[in-house]
Amino acid sequence: MNTKKIIDMKGKEPITMITAYDYPTARIASEAGIDIILVGDSLGNVILGYDSTIPVTMEDMLMHIKAVRRGAPDAFIVGDMPFLSYEISPEKAVENAGLMLKAGANAIKLEGGEPYAETIRRIINAGIPVMGHLGFTPQSVNLLGGHKVQGKTPESREKLLKDAKILEEVGCFSIVLELVVEQVAKEITENIKIPTIGIGAGRYCDGQVLVFHDVVGLTTMDLKFVKRYANTYEIMLNAVKSYKTEVKNKVFPSKDNIFE
């Protein structure tokens, strides 16, 4: 996979993207044939137990990108730029984006529209492909007043359409649309030549992205836009309970597990 192939998929075949944060999840995503692996800053919530993505650092991201690359040597990996890694100056943004590529990413993703146009241009000029991210942008949760669906008002719709066009013009190879009214996501998708990849943005995006742990049911919160394909939390919990019971009852280790 490469950015040209991803752009070429628009209108032909839905693009699949899933997050992965470590060696085993990357192996599974890659073996399943997922088109793009996103090392999302959602690792702050999902892996590190924070209540937002704000505390996630560049060091956190680089460590997880390296692990994901080890688990998926041939995958197309997008590294998510964490809060304050690109907002301070375009120079700092290019430097941090470059560190993500050195760690093993093929491209980076950053949140925001028009205000980051110049920064994105500079990152792309340095040879680093950029995926945009519009709609609900979790790093701005404090400005947006919570996890709110975007595109509900005429102003919000206009802004999303304008920002998407700007991201296309500066050279992004795709755009994540998060928590966007379905009809607005459809309009954006029809208005630009690069693929949109939706999460809570309805059926008409060019692709879909979900968080790995939501897909396999390792997270237990019910979210309308998520589909849980397995109940891994319960499977793991039962396995650990069985282990504990067997040790307490002197069933494990058995004759099969010893060295003679």
- Residue ranges in contact with ligand KIV by CB under 6 A: 19, 38, 40-42, 80, 176, 178, 199, 209, 211
Provide the minimum distance between the beta carbon of 237 and ligand KIV in the complex, in angstroms, as a whole number: 24
Catalytic residue among 91, 95, 158, 178: 178
Provide the minimum distance between the beta carbon of 75 and ligand KIV in the complex, in angstroms, as a whole number: 16
Provide the minimum distance between the beta carbon of 182 and ligand KIV in the complex, in angstroms, as a whole number: 17
Q: In this complex, which beta carbon is closest to ligand KIV, that of residue 22 or of residue 80? A: 80
Residue nearest to ligand KIV (CB): 40
Q: In this complex, which beta carbon is closest to ligand KIV, that of residue 109 or of residue 186? A: 109
Which DSSP state fits 73?
Answer: T
Q: In this complex, which beta carbon is closest to ligand KIV, that of residue 170 or of residue 199? A: 199
- Is there a catalytic annotation at residue 234? no
Provide the minimum distance between the beta carbon of 212 and ligand KIV in the complex, in angstroms, as a whole number: 9
Active site residue ranges: 178
